[in-house]
Amino acid sequence: MPRLAATLVVLLPPLLLSAAVAAAPLPPGGGGGGGFGFEATLRHVDAGAGYTKAQLLARAVARSRARASTLQSLATLAPGDAITAARILVRASDGEYLMDMGIGTPPRYYSAILDTGSDLIWTQCAPCLLCVDQPTPYFDPSQSATYRSLGCSSASCNALYYPFCFQNVCVYQYFYGDSASTAGVLANETFTFGTNATRVAVPSVSFGCGNLNAGSLANGSGMVGFGRGSLSLVSQLGSPRFSYCLTSFLSPVPSRLYFGAYATLNSTNASAAAGPVQSTPFVVNPALPTMYFLNMTGISVGGYRLPIDPAVFAINDADGTGGTIIDSGTTITYIAEPAYAAVRAAFVSQIRLPLLNATEASVLDTCFKWPPPPRQSLTLPEVVFHFDGADMELPLQNYMLVDPVSGGLCLAMATSEDGTIIGNFQHQNFHVLYDLENSLLSFVPAPCNLI
């Protein structure tokens, strides 16, 4: 039986992750996804930039608002338009985590924005006719012994949304929701994952070598897609499973990414109190096939299942709008109306604190006066997300935060005009497994700073 309330002790702001890629030999006894695998660590895009906790929170919330707006608008783009069909489901400047990888022979290392909402792997290349700032030199194909441009009839070229052919060389172009873009040559190259001690080199990975780029890459030098399409890293490496465990904002320990044979939830829990592993099937949305959609069935607040029609969370069969996405690149969760209104009403009725007035600039509009009066204890209602076959019971620090502007105690969720997006703030300190082979998302509470 789930607990009905949680006592407020410490509020953890959004995630701050840290990292550098580390590969390792296969785990004892192997794992899922065949014999190939590696481990990696993740660095938050704002890590080491000297921001205060309040600034980090404000920047993460702002990125979430922009990304959610883009994800929601892409579902309604006009079908049949070649340019809009080429748009991918991310904002280039609004990813959250960076993953290191080596490109070429000998390998040159770059940090790329990891994105579960897109497929293409790409970096900026020399000679760069139009490029944006990045922390590393541009990749120079002439300095690699294994670089090969791809022809127009190649399978990878045909997998692009909108391929071009120039002198029998495949040319790609991607457009982003924030007016960013990348265009260049589609090529094959050897990619390296790992440290000096243990490395995994993978030949013939298709990627975009960008010569014309616009927008912003935050602190990265490209992007690496972990989506469901054939050009994503997950699909190309032939080990259709990956997992991550995101540490809390205040933890000095990096977050973890596991790929292939390492992506398993066996022995993740440090204690039996964490509960069993739960799984829910992915749902395919033909209009947005690269995204990870789930069948969300309801929400409970304070032990009460809210009276929400499950159709609020479902994909619209007519045009592909709506639905529920789990997205590592969005920080807070966006809940479709009228479900958000029901959640907000439940919090207002159950929390005995004055409600703060929201402004036009507010993203978080369910905020309460904080701190409470002296000698007043405060209990907060627990939140459970219900999915087909699984319940995600959120720890307190995964849904409440202190807003840096108002100083209020806020619900880390916001309203959405089209669809629901489960953000990374809600699944911090969960080990989350994406199993594409069996079309399942599995998760279990985990001490991510320990595994």
| Candidates 100, 178, 327, 403; catalytic one | 327
Task: For residue 310, say if its preceding peptide bond is cis, omega within 30 degrees of 0.
Answer: no
pLDDT for residue 30: 42
Active site residue 403: no
List, in sequence order, every beta strand (DSSP E) within 303-429: 304-305, 324-326, 333-336, 367-368, 379-381, 383-387, 390-394, 400-402, 409-411, 413-416, 420-422
Under-70 pLDDT residues of the chain: 1-35, 64-95, 176-180, 194-198, 249-252, 267-274, 359-362, 375
Task: Please state the separation of Cα 298 from the chain's center in Å.
Answer: 22
- Please give the distance of CA 160 from its chain centroid, rounded to a whole number: 22
> In the prediction, which pLDDT does 323 show?
94
pTM of the model: 0.86
Instruction: Yes or no: say if 329 and 422 are a contact pair by the CB < 8 Å rule.
Output: no
**327 counts as catalytic:** yes
Instruction: Specify the residue for token string 């109306």.
Output: 337
Tokens of 398: 């995964």
Q: Active-site residue among 46, 94, 115, 178?
A: 115
Q: What is the structure's pLDDT at 351?
A: 92
